[in-house]
Amino acid sequence: MEYLPDSPEAIILESVLDGMAEYYIQELSRKVKRGLKVSLEKGNAVNSIMPIGYKREGKKAVIDE
């Protein structure tokens, strides 16, 4: 929580803070998805649930023919 004074400038500041928070969420989501994809391309199983088209062999993920 940020302290925002009761002034007209607080409206602008609140909008900027909301925008920064939304940007952070979107950027973090993009980075997590990219990291999962790269790990899967390297053959590392990163989840207990494998994506469609892959199967687990030990700790590795391989393409399910």
Domain ranges of the chain: 40-65
With CA atoms as reference, report the closest residue to 38 among 46, 49, 29, 50.
Answer: 46
pLDDT value of residue 57: 80
Q: What whole-number distance in Å separates Cα of residue 58 and Cα of residue 65?
A: 17
- E strand intervals along 1-65: 54-57, 60-63
Q: Give the residue carrying structure tokens 């803070």.
A: 17
Predicted confidence pLDDT, tens digits, the chain (65 residues): 778 888 888 899 999 999 999 999 999 999 999 998 888 788 777 766 777 787 878 777 778 88
pLDDT value of residue 15: 92
**Beta partners for residue 62, in sequence order:** 55
